[in-house]
Homo-oligomer: A and B are copies of this chain.
Amino acid sequence: MGRTSDAREKLLAAALDLIWTSSYGGVSVDDICVRAGVNKGSFYHFFPSKSDLAVAAYEAHWQEKRPAMDAVFSSQNPPLDRLIAWCRCIQEGQSEKHEQYGFVVGCPYANVGSELATQDPKIRAKTQEMLDRGFRYIEAAIADAQRQGLIDVADATAAAKQVSSCVLGLLIQAKIENDPGLLSELEPTMMRLLGAKIVAA
């Protein structure tokens, strides 16, 4: 039925990339179309609006990253190792982006969430959903660590909230200071928050 196209996927990738390294408001529909090599008419053939594209782009990004996250947070790995491996992923990811663009770009979800939380309910809800998906990995890892007596926390869910907030905060701080080095605090902050009983060398 009719012709096929990869324009949709190219638009999703271009949108994610441009918005991540700039901001939602700082990127125009034309910018995205140029980067994707697609005409604006095609854009509106696939997406009803700029904000719908953004929502779809985040969903696509998550689906792409999910296997890696599943691997890092696999129940096969010791719970604290999962968290430590995740810290490394963040550090490496941000360092890569920093080399590539000259900027610490931060968390794509939190970036637009913070920018548009008071302006676009659809995007606010989507970013909350994305952050919540990440949160569940952390929560599970912390609950496991608690069960195994590796950490000193009373409420695993509350501790997970604290940990995820700290990660978000460090990413913002690193972005504002444009210093990926701040992210080396990720692991120690986390371990301190959890009262981890054994500190890895």
Contact = CB atoms under 8 A, between A and B. Distances in A.
Contacts of A173: 131, 161, 164-165, 168
Which of A26, A106, A113, A173 is packed against the most chain B CB atoms within 10 Å? A173
Contacts of A25: 23-26, 115
A72 interface: no
B23 A162 contact: no
A136 B114 CA distance: 25
Query: How extensive is the interface on chain A, given as a class?
Result: 35 or more
Copies in the complex: 2
B115 A103 contact: no
Interface in A96-133: 101, 103-106, 110-111, 113-119, 124, 127-128, 131
A110 B169 CA distance: 10
Contact of A176 (B22, B26, B114, B170): B114
Contacts of A175: 113-114, 117-118
Interface stretch (A43-51, A63-71, A74-82, A185-193): A185-193
